[in-house]
Amino acid sequence: MRGIRTFEKPCGKKRFFLAWRHEGVRRAKAFVSEGERAKFARSLQKSIEKIGREALSFDPDEWVQYRRFKDIIGAVDPLTVAREWLAYRRGETDKSPALADAAKSFRNMIEGQGASDDMKTRYRLALDSLVKSVGAAVQLGAVQSANVIDWMTWLKKERGFSAKTLGHYRQAVAAMFRHFTLARVIQWNPCDAVAAPKVVAEEVSVLSLADCVRLFDANRGLPVATRLALEAFGGLRYTSAIRLEEAEVDWENHALVFPAKKHKSKRDQYVEGYPENLWKWLAAAPAETWEMTQRQYLAEKSAAFARAGVKNPGNVLRHSFCSYHIALNRDAAKTAVLLTHTSPVTLYRHYKGRATAVDAEKWFAIAPSA
C-alpha cells in the first residue's frame, strides 16, 4: 500500500511493524504476528478509501481513551454528550417540558390521529406508569436510560409482566421520546440504550372440548357469552370481537363487516362462511352485549373463565377455533379466510392442529340453548 511500509525487528514480543507518515509525522504500530499486522493494514487501507488519508492520523492512545469513554456513556451518541457538556459549560439548562405534561401532549396527539381504542389504552397505561415511576415533575430531557431500565425491572418483578407486555410498554414509551427527539425538544431517546425484552415463542394452546362446554354453560345468557362466541366459533381476534357493533352484522348474507379502523390489517374486511352455531349466539345476544366497552369485556372475560373454572392462557379461543375448524373442514384456505390471514402460510406458522374431527363437530354444535 502506498505510503505504508512493513519491517521487522530481530527480538521482542511485538517484532512485526507497520509504519506510515502523515503530515510530516512518522507513525508506527507493532504486532505480535504477521497475520495481525496484515489484518490491521487491510483495515487501515479500507479507512483510507472511505475517509481519505486522514485515517493515517490514527493514534492508539486516543483509541484507548475513546473506548473508555464509550464504556462510560454506553449507546449514547458521543456528539450528543459533547453538545450537552458544552451546554452545561455555557450555563444552559434543560428547557424541556415536565414528563407528565409531555406524556399528556403525546397521548392527545395519538388520539387525534385516530388511534384504535386498544392502542390508546396501551399508550395511556404505559405512559402513566412511567410518569409514576420517574416522577411527574421531572423534565423530559432529564430522563435517563437507567430510569427506563428501573421502571421495566419494577414492572417485571412487582407487576409480573411478561416479556411480550414489557415490550409493548417499552415500545409506547420509546415512541413518545422519539417524537420529541425528532421535534428537537430533547437531544436523544433514552430508550435507544435499553434493549427490548426477548420474547420466547410459546406453544400454542388449545382449549379442550370439555372446557369449552363448561365455559359457555357457566356464562349462558350473559352479555359476555356472545363476545366469547365470536372468538371461539368465529375465530375473531380479541380486539375485533370487542369492537364489532350490531350494525356490522350482515344477517341476510351471514357475514361480518370489519371497517379498516377496527381491523389489524387497517383494511376493510367483509367475511362470510362462519359456522352456523356462531349465528345462534349472535341471535341470542342480549342488548347489553353491544353496549360493552373494551375495558368491561376484558374484566368480564376474565370473570367468565373464572366462573367456569377454566384456565385462560391467552388468546386460547381464537387458537382453538383454528384447530377445530381445520379438523372439521380439512381446508386450510377456508380457515385462513375466516381468520383474515393473507394466506394459509401464516396459519401454519402460528397454529398447530390438536383436535379430532369428532370433537370438532361437537365444538361447532355448542349453542345458546342446552
Cβ neighbours, 10 Å, residue 67 = 9
Cβ neighbours, 10 Å, residue 188 = 19
Mean pLDDT of 103-130: 86
Domains identified in the chain, total number? 3
Supply the pLDDT for residue 205.
79
Domain range for 127 is: 99-193
What confidence tens digit (pLDDT) does each residue in 7-49 have? Answer: 888 777 788 887 877 666 777 788 888 888 888 878 777 776 7
Q: Specify which residues 269 forms β-bridges with.
A: 258
Q: Does residue 28 sit within a domain?
A: yes
Q: Does residue 199 sit within a domain?
A: no
pLDDT of residue 262 exceeding 90, the answer is no
Supply the pLDDT for residue 57.
60
What confidence tens digit (pLDDT) does each residue in 199-219 have? Answer: 765 556 789 999 999 999 999
Whether residue 231 sits in one domain with residue 188? no
**The last residue of a domain, from among 70, 89, 108:** 89
Mean pLDDT of 79-85: 67
Whether residue 323 sits in one domain with residue 356? yes
Q: Does residue 336 sit within a domain?
A: yes
What confidence tens digit (pLDDT) does each residue in 301-348 have? Answer: 999 999 999 988 878 899 899 999 999 988 888 888 888 887 777 676
To the question of pTM greater than 0.85 for the whole model, the response is no
Q: Does residue 369 sit within a domain?
A: no
What is d(CA 103, CA 180) in angstroms, rounded to the nearest whole number? Answer: 10
HEC letters along 167-225: HHHHHHHHHHHHHHHHCCCCCCCHHHHCCCCCCCCCCCCCCCHHHHHHHHHHCCCCHHH
Q: Does residue 324 sit within a domain?
A: yes
HSE-CB at 7 with a 13 A cutoff on CA atoms is 8
Q: Does residue 249 sit within a domain?
A: yes
Whether residue 154 sits in one domain with residue 286? no
Whether residue 223 sits in one domain with residue 354? yes
**The last residue of a domain, from among 59, 89, 119:** 89
Specify burial of residue 61 (Cβ count, 10 A radius: 0-12, 13-18, 19+).
Answer: exposed
Whether residue 252 sits in one domain with residue 137? no
Whether residue 71 sits in one domain with residue 11? yes
Q: Does residue 370 sit within a domain?
A: no
Q: Does residue 204 sit within a domain?
A: no
Q: How many residues does the chain have?
A: 370
**The last residue of a domain, from among 89, 123, 158:** 89
Specify burial of residue 167 (Cβ count, 10 A radius: 0-12, 13-18, 19+).
Answer: middle
Whether residue 38 sits in one domain with residue 73? yes
Take residue 48 and report the three cell numbers written for it: 483510507
Strands (E), the chain: 4-8, 16-22, 25-31, 249-250, 255-258, 269-272
Whether residue 345 sits in one domain with residue 284? yes
Whether residue 345 sits in one domain with residue 220? yes
Whether residue 263 sits in one domain with residue 224? yes
The domain that holds 351 is classified in CATH as 1.10.443.10
